Structure formats: structure tokens, C-alpha cells
Structure 1
């Protein structure tokens, strides 16, 4: 009995101890997204105009704007108002949304991405632009001063490259806090199916697993959003586009009576 008890205690201690591979993957992600690798793949993965080409760049922004409009019309949302994009990349979405917004806030890990996103926005409109640098060690800091300040929260082509469910929960929690009551989060994730090869692999080397790090079933993400204080309303699936496949887009509304869950 004593030996069994010792084993139980040892197992409990291991469970409470942060897993080394989690920290390692987080460090790899922060290092990868912080600066260009110089070979062009980083710009492509960040969806820069020079990285994916003019046609794809325009298509990304146009398709997402049109999808947002369909959701907004169905939910009675009039305008995007003040928009924050979490993971703005090279500005493909910003260039499509900012001209229709009252204010646009671009948040990203990379200073290079923020500079490029700013350049793309300023090339198409004079909407007031704010940039926020995300520190993966303290992502909440990038949203300082924005509680209930935003009408629209965008997070597109980001969830699948996060380091796991906890990171996604943090993003959804930030969305819940920055949105005003009744505001919309327009969020995309990559879904997995019954085929095990489509599941996320957060424990593998980050750069070799980039766009398949974190995935969910349709129901799992729906439930996670609800747990984070965002009420799922609508969903659209895109099984395949020119960039990749198995994309699920959600319209999440912050309830008028919502309290901060944290």
C-alpha cells in the first residue's frame, strides 16, 4: 500500500508540474512568428501580399468580408464599428475591413507584420489605426484599455497555429472582454474529422506542424466559445480553398448581460 501511495503522489506531482514540451512548443511559436525567416515562407504563412500574391491576398480579404456581411445581416449587426484583429499578419483582412470600420486595431506578435499591415491599411483608407504588439508570455497586455471598446473581434487563420486549447481559451477570453455587449467575434478554426491525420498535433515540433497544431471538432469549439462567455450563433464551413482546407467560421455574440468569466 505504501508503494502504491508513493506512486500516486509521484503521478500527482508530475501532473501538476508544467509539461516541458508545452513550454518548448510555446518558445518555438514565439520565435517563429516574431520575425521573418528570410526565405519567403514566413511571409507566405503570415499572408503578406508579396508572400501569397496579389490575387490570393485580395481573395482572402474579400471572402472574409463577404462572410462577415452574411453573418452580420442575419444577426442584425449594422456596421463593424471599432474592429480589432487578433493576429493581423500582413494585412489581408485589415485591408478589406478597415475601410468599412470606424477604427481598426491590429494586434500581432511580429513587429514586421504590424508594419506591413499598417502599410496595407494606409494604402486603401484613412481609418484611424492602432497597433498592438502581442507578447505570448502575457497576451492580455495587448488588450489593455480596450475593455468593452470594440464592436467586432476578428481572429482568422490564427487558431490552428496556436499552441493548444489553453492558448485558444485565452484568445476567446480576450475577445469577451474587449467586445461591447452585443458585439460580434468573427472567428475561424480548423476542424478535424474522424480521420486521425486531421487532428491537431501540439506535441510535435512547431515549425514542421505549423497549420495543424491545434484543431477542434465543430461541437468542441462551439462549446469552448460558450464557456468563454461568447454565445455561438452561426457557422459556415469551407472544406477547401486555395490556401488549405477544413475551415470553420463562427459568429459569436457577447450577450448583453455577459459578465467577465475571469
Structure 2
């Protein structure tokens, strides 16, 4: 009985400390943008406290220590199959592909996908669904380990090899050299909320505009806030707050997309799913040569959703 009381007390203490840390991260001193980017680079690409000697992630072993738990968390945050489980991993790709096809059909776009790039492929859940029906598939990620894992997973469903790009978080444009206006589809799912701030998320939209051929489509997901639910922006500690670093208002992202040269066409909302809440999916197109982006106004927003159940951002859970 005493042991149960002690465990319960420790659990309450840990919960209270967690809430205190998150509150402090919102209202305390602010890390500069470059420091946050360095922290994100450290977490995803190496040198994280979740990693073992020489920057490698520790291998899981029975009776593991804190390092192994950090490894498990990293894999979950990266949406590896072993991190979120077979069922959830398969749902990510299958449901995103179904949603993508729904939006493509609504836009009267041809079913052929051509050249597809996924910006932030993680453990390959989306790639395993989209690559088999793509003429060419390019997996891009900030983690070299995730690129290897993505290729491994796709190889079980597609005989032709896929291409990979390693992204530098602080210089993402470097990865795209030579790919300008070569992609028909740009996928970016469960990524923008992980960026260190809105301007870094918009930077990815600018990359999408450069990579897409005229008439190409970007299928992009954000975490949205409303006037009532707008969360305080986290000022520091990227590792602890990574899944909630960047949110947008639904109309705000619609307008910002147009400012990047991508024309918002459709959106669908997922207010809540099995892992998190407040997700918006946008179909954005790059205008044909010589056409201008129509400036969006509020009443042009068309909702197609919500799209039932699904899987949320890397490393978050609800229910």
C-alpha cells in the first residue's frame, strides 16, 4: 500500500513539473531563432540527448534505461513503423492517400501523379502509400536515419528505387538545387507544426512553389488555431514542445499560401483524430505559366471535411 502511495505521489509530482515546464517555456526568456533552429537540428539530425555515443541513437535492449526510452520517443516523433505501431503507421499513408485523391477528384485533376516529392518523409508511412503509384518518388528529410528507414519501407511495396534528399534545417533550399519546376506533387504532412516558427513554415511553402511545375499541386497540412484556442507560442525548449511549435489560423495560412505564389483551392478539416486535434489539409496549386494567383478572400474557403478518423502529428497523442 505504501509503495502504491509513493508511486501515485511521484506520478502527480511528474505531471505537475511537466505542466510547470511547459508554462515556463511559454512565458520565460525567449531563445533566438537561430538557437531554436540549432536545437531542432540537434534533435532531428544528431547530437541530441536522445542519442548515444558518437551521435548514434541508442539501440533498444531489454531492461532499458532512459536512453532507450528517448530512442522510442524519437521513433514515434519521426513516425517510424516501430515507433507508432503497425496499425497507426498503415493508417497514416492509407488515409492521406484517400484524402489526396478526394481533393484531386474535386479539382478534376488527372489521377496520374508523375513526379512526387515528400518534404519530411519520416519513417515512410506516406511514401509507402504514394510511391507505388508515382512515376518518380523523392523522399526528403532532415534525418539521414529516417531516409534510410523510408527507403527500407518503400522497398517492400515498390520495385523501382526512390530518390532521397537530405535537408539541412538551417539551409533547406540547398537540397533542391537542380529540381526547380520538376515536381508534379509536393507532399508536406505532419511537418509544418514542427518548424521553429511561422516564417520557417512559410519558407517550406516557398520551396514548394519553386519545385512544382506550373499546374502542379501541393498537399499540405498544418495545425490550426482559432480565436478561442490560440495557444501561447513556445519561446524555447524545442525538444519538449516540438509538436506544437507552429500553428496558423485557417484563413491566415490560406492567405500566406497565396502570397507564396500557390493558389489555395480546397481545404478539409480534421478537428480531432486518434492522436491529436486541430488539423487542416490544403490543396494548393501553382498557376499555369502567365496566370496570376487569385488573391483569396474569406468566403472563397471551401471545406471538404472533416475526413473521419486519422493519425495526427509526429509524437502527439490524445484519447
Q: Please say whether Structure 1 and Structure 2 have the same fold, judged by a TM-score greater than 0.5.
A: yes
Q: Quickly say closer, same or farther: Cα 1:127–1:195, change in 2 above 3 A.
A: farther
The aligned residue for residue 83 of structure 2 is 51
The aligned residue for residue 85 of structure 1 is 118
Q: Does 1:166 align with 2:199?
A: yes
Cα deviations by residue, 1:32-59 (Å, 9 ceiling, x for unpaired):
1114834300100110000000000000
Rounded to whole Å, the distance in 2 between the matches of 1:135 and 1:202 is 22
The aligned residue for residue 40 of structure 2 is 29
RMSD (CA atoms) = 1.8
* SS of residue in 1 equivalent to 2:233: coil
The aligned residue for residue 129 of structure 1 is 162
The aligned residue for residue 64 of structure 2 is none
Q: Quickly say closer, same or farther: Cα 1:117–1:259, change in 2 above 3 A.
A: farther
Q: CA deviation at 1:115?
A: 0.3
Q: Does 1:70 align with 2:102?
A: yes
Q: CA deviation at 1:169?
A: 1.6
Q: CA deviation at 1:140?
A: 0.4
Cα deviations by residue, 1:142-175 (Å, 9 ceiling, x for unpaired):
1111111100000000000001122112100110
> Of 235, 239, 245, which aligns to 2:267?
235
Q: CA deviation at 1:219?
A: 0.5
Rounded to whole Å, the distance in 1 between the matches of 2:265 and 2:292 is 19
Which deviates the most, 31-40 or 60-69? 31-40
> Of 278, 288, 291, which aligns to 1:256?
288
Rounded to whole Å, the distance in 2 between the matches of 1:191 and 1:256 is 29
Q: Quickly say closer, same or farther: Cα 1:240–1:74, change in 2 above 3 A.
A: same
Structure 2 unaligned spans of 5+: 1-29, 51-57, 59-68, 294-319
Q: Does the CA-based 8 Å contact 2:31-2:235 persist in structure 1? A: no
Rounded to whole Å, the distance in 1 between the matches of 2:292 and 2:251 is 23
Q: CA deviation at 1:87?
A: 0.4
> Of 151, 174, 186, which aligns to 1:141?
174
Q: Does the CA-based 8 Å contact 1:192-1:199 persist in structure 2? A: yes
Rounded to whole Å, the distance in 2 between the matches of 1:105 and 1:81 is 11
Rounded to whole Å, the distance in 1 between the matches of 2:283 and 2:232 is 22
Q: CA deviation at 1:244?
A: 1.1
Larger CA Rg, structure 1 vs 2: 2
Q: CA deviation at 1:259?
A: 8.7
Rounded to whole Å, the distance in 2 between the matches of 1:258 and 1:242 is 43
The aligned residue for residue 257 of structure 2 is 225
Q: Does the CA-based 8 Å contact 1:25-1:202 persist in structure 2? A: no
Q: CA deviation at 1:26?
A: 0.8
Rounded to whole Å, the distance in 2 between the matches of 1:135 and 1:69 is 31
* SS of residue in 1 equivalent to 2:278: strand
Q: Does 1:201 align with 2:228?
A: no
Q: Does the CA-based 8 Å contact 2:271-2:279 persist in structure 1? A: yes
The aligned residue for residue 61 of structure 2 is none
The aligned residue for residue 180 of structure 1 is 213
